Structure 1
Amino acid sequence: MSLSRRSILKSAGALSLLGGPFGFQALAQAAPAVPAAAEIPPILFVHGNGDHAALWITTLWRMESNGVPHERMFAINFTDPLARSDDKVEQPNRSSTEDQRRELGEAIKELKRRTGAPRVALVGNSRGGNSIRNYVKNGGGGDVSHAVLCGVPNHGVYDWDDGLGGEFNGRGPFLRGLNEGEKEVTDGTAFLTLRSDGIDKFAQADGRFVGKPGTPTGITAEGPALKGATNLALGAIDHRETAYHPRAFREIYKFIAGREPSRLDIVPEAQVKLSGLVTGMPTGVQTNRPVSGATVDVYRVSAETGERNGGRIHSSQTGADGRWGPAQVDPSWYLEIVLTSPHATTTHFYRSPFPRSSDILHLRAARPLGSADSGAGAVVLMSRPRGYFGLPRDVVLFDGKEPKDVKPGVPTDSVTTLRLPAEEAGRAVVALFNQERIVARAWPAAENRIAVAELTY
């Protein structure tokens, strides 16, 4: 079954975009605000290629705000989140489809043990959906009640004769194995796919987004849909937003809980505790391997200037497990989180207020300063981990200007870079994305420092 965004909105009622935090107003529903925990299976969230569990923070907050207990949810952190170039050929700090299937199976087993539930629901973005399908199809269906696949390249990013060993080649053995048969889903598990209406960069007919402009990929916007699943197109949302956008949350919750969410906004907690992992890039490849000996310092900062309001409110050093925190903060505070990690760029993360607690606020040092930064007195990044910058879809202003390194059209960029002369090091830089605004300070590049205005929404 395939439904358009218009059909979804007509059947479920109009979604107001005029109020609430960051432009989203809670849906008024007749359903009870707090569902009984027993009615909803435990939920395991599965991130995508090169990503980590922290991308699910806002989804977890929305689940909690709808009464789902924190202890009945878990977001996996794959050890080596990047796929191999060839699934059967080992590469340092990259994982095979079998590595992913094994780690996902261990996480499912632990969540079942912790909750006592016979089955769990799985929600995956992008490559995470490959792992879910691999686990369910190859003997794990009895453990999984629901499988929600968000922006998953179920028929590949491309369908080519060359590079058949690649996990994302629709013509390769991995995806052909998952898609063989009259139905492309596994009986006994309920499947939902969520996709974009044409602006997912990994579901495009032209190969320009995979390095071959002008070459047909053999894939269309409907590539994420599966025969035998409930397939929904959510409108003009990008590849990551198919999982992390409030529109996606609504469908994820409704599919698993069997009713509409009572709200889309996030209910703040009176006291917020933040903690997570420090991870690194041991060979220049992003991993989720813990880093020991890293220092994390947290400061409260001014929303208008980014300047620190007093001294540190938290400081901790990681041990062998890479854990930092917990830091206790107020849900109204803007924060600067400083990561000093061995053999890495000192990174100053500027963040909007955290309305709720999180134990998966994972930190990874910013990229090394490179040749493109030569001569810059300060380097500031604006980062959107849970989506891409879409022009002209979004308002994106960095230091008062629309960034030149963000390409218009299909959203493909989640980071934009601002380089300042030495005499401007130390000044405030405003990052504005739609209704989220963060003010960062430009730190001297000569001290091997980078500032990151990291968006939450």
Structure 2
Amino acid sequence: MKLSRRTILRGAGALTLLAGRLGTSALAQTGPAGDISPILFVHGNGDHAALWMTTIWRMESNGVPRERVFAINFTDPLARTDDKVEQANRSSTEDARRELGEAIKALKQSTGAARVALVGNSRGGNAIRNTIKNGGSGDVSHAVLCGTPNHGVYAWDEGLGNEFNGRGPFLRGLNEGDSEVTAGTAFLTLRSDGLDKYAQADGRFAGKPGTPTNITTEGPALKGATNLVIGAVDHRETAYHPRAFREIYKFIAGREPSRIEIVSEAIVKLSGLVTGTPGGVQTNRPVSSASVDIYHVSDDTGERIGGTVHSSQTNADGRWGPAQVDPSWSLEIVLTSPGSVTTHFYRSPFPRSSDIVHLRAARQPLAADAGAGAVVLMSRPRGYFGLPRDVVLFDGKEPDDVKPGVPTDAVTTLRLPAAEIGRPVVGIFNQERIVARAWPASENRIAVAELTY
């Protein structure tokens, strides 16, 4: 079987192959890296394949052939409250194990490799461990678990059916024995030096402030694995930060990467998937009849430069694109999805091609939005806003809805009066800068400055 350069649906699962073009100059600078095991990246709870985009760009920039680098989209990425009790648009540990097993099989068949490497963030690591322990060890050469709550987010006697309870049957089954890893697969865990919100002694991040979780910052470590602390990174950054990339690459390739930076391509092609939130639950189920329109916009004002660069409408598979853009262009991507808010995504330039540019309509209006002329969000999918760790400025000031200390917030909201509709809004996160425009809330529109890094 040969994988096409589109999303491949196998039952309920989806395995996504990058469809970008790797420049020959990049390969010449880095040398071939086809000796590396094919890599399947596995996202976390409620997330999607696109979170691995910058990691995959870094792999490509080190000469790893795109035909050997994939990312999965779990159909229903959110875990059930109780693993054994059905819950609409949520998945069990067995659902995740089955979908991951299908993706591994497809990757092996497409590459001809006997074994593959798996890299997971958070809940993705649960699926990886479950798959390897229950018959999959012969298929997996390396397993990298990034911020995975291997001993739970908490360890309590109540709610034992929850997948993230360290005293529950799921995690106890994975952790039984003198070794907590499966023989025959090399395991690496990456964890934060104190800033992972799901490896904290206090239960406030699990909804019980002041109650001990019985978990420490060492919760992601496993007996029998190589366990590394990679610094003051947050829960998602344990997977998506450049520091994490270095360790992921080194562990799988057996050598240091030749570069950490992302090498730009001359021509960038973008495509991806439109998904929805049935019943208010984030899923990776495709949305049909959604329109995607892309504009080149000014770096300084967010104003459109010329007409549409790309327009397409999704079919039953939810796919949009491909769109060809310049790697120096800032973009506005307008998603008009049935029954949802029209969402204007503002993005800093894409240096490389990707076919996992995931689009999901922004949230529905909140009570707090009532009376606002415009609502603008700044979103960081691959990490959280850490104060005072990071420089975070939204419309010229530090947001007051981002809590200091352990990073927990990935979205900040700005509400503007009607008189300010149409004006530019600048979002700055460390060295990334995006300029969005304020759209009328009365037209059921919302703007999102979506950070890439």
**TM tier, smaller:** over 0.9
Q: Distance in 1 between matches of 2:320 and 2:440?
A: 25
Q: Distance in 1 between matches of 2:241 and 2:366?
A: 33
One of 115, 120, 125 as aligned partner of 2:111 = 115
Q: Distance in 2 between matches of 1:37 and 1:204?
A: 38
Q: Distance in 2 between matches of 1:382 and 1:396?
A: 10
Q: Distance in 2 between matches of 1:174 and 1:33?
A: 46
Matched, 1:426 2:430: no
Q: Which amino acid aligns with 2:322?
A: P
Secondary structure of the residue that 1:39 maps to in structure 2? coil
One of 288, 300, 303 as aligned partner of 2:299 = 303
1:224-257, Cα deviation, whole Å (9 max, x unpaired) = 0000000000110000000000000000000000
Q: Distance in 1 between matches of 2:355 and 2:31?
A: 23
Shift of 1:38: 3.9
Matched, 1:141 2:137: yes
Superposed counterparts of 1:40-79, under 5 Å: 40-79=36-75
1:120-152, Cα deviation, whole Å (9 max, x unpaired) = 000000000000000000000000000000000
Query: What number of residue pairs does the alignment pair up?
Result: 426
Matching residue of 2:237: 241
Q: Distance in 1 between matches of 2:422 and 2:358?
A: 26
Q: Which amino acid aligns with 2:150?
A: N
Q: Which amino acid aligns with 2:410?
A: S
- 8 Å CA contact 1:34–1:68 kept in 2: the answer is no
One of 153, 178, 191 as aligned partner of 1:182 = 178
Shift of 1:370: 1.8
Shift of 1:39: 1.7
Q: Which amino acid aligns with 1:186?
A: T
- 8 Å CA contact 2:33–2:62 kept in 1: the answer is no
Matching residue of 2:202: 206
- 8 Å CA contact 1:35–1:68 kept in 2: the answer is no
Matching residue of 2:13: none
Alignment gaps of 5+ in structure 2: 1-27
Give me the CA root mean square deviation.
Answer: 0.8
Shift of 1:34: 3.3
Q: 1:220 to 1:210 in 2, by over 3 A?
A: same
Secondary structure of the residue that 1:185 maps to in structure 2? coil
Q: Which amino acid aligns with 1:110?
A: A
TM-score, length of structure 2 as denominator length: 0.93
Matched, 1:365 2:364: no
Matched, 1:217 2:213: yes
Matched, 1:253 2:264: no
Shift of 1:36: 3.8
One of 80, 96, 99 as aligned partner of 2:76 = 80
Matching residue of 1:25: none
Superposed counterparts of 1:158-173, under 5 Å: 158-173=154-169
1:330-376, Cα deviation, whole Å (9 max, x unpaired) = 00000000000000000000000000000000100000012110000
Matching residue of 2:384: 388
Q: Which amino acid aligns with 1:336?
A: E
Q: Distance in 2 between matches of 1:245 and 1:296?
A: 29
One of 414, 424, 433 as aligned partner of 2:410 = 414
One of 389, 401, 405 as aligned partner of 1:405 = 401
Q: Which amino acid aligns with 1:131?
A: A
Superposed counterparts of 1:193-342, under 5 Å: 193-342=189-338
Matching residue of 1:346: 342
Alignment gaps of 5+ in structure 1: 1-31
Matching residue of 1:441: 437
Shift of 1:35: 5.0
Matching residue of 1:153: 149
1:76-122, Cα deviation, whole Å (9 max, x unpaired) = 00000000000000000000000000000000000000000000000
Matching residue of 1:455: 451
Secondary structure of the residue that 1:76 maps to in structure 2? strand
1:280-332, Cα deviation, whole Å (9 max, x unpaired) = 00110000000000000000000000000011010000000000000000000
TM-score, length of structure 1 as denominator length: 0.93
Q: Distance in 1 between matches of 2:184 and 2:61?
A: 29
- 8 Å CA contact 2:375–2:413 kept in 1: the answer is yes
Q: Distance in 2 between matches of 1:204 and 1:362?
A: 31
**Percent of residue pairs bearing the same amino acid type:** 83
Shift of 1:33: 5.3
1:412-431, Cα deviation, whole Å (9 max, x unpaired) = 00000000001111100000
Secondary structure of the residue that 1:343 maps to in structure 2? coil
Matching residue of 1:93: 89
Q: 1:35 to 1:163 in 2, by over 3 A?
A: farther
1:397-423, Cα deviation, whole Å (9 max, x unpaired) = 000010000000000000000000011
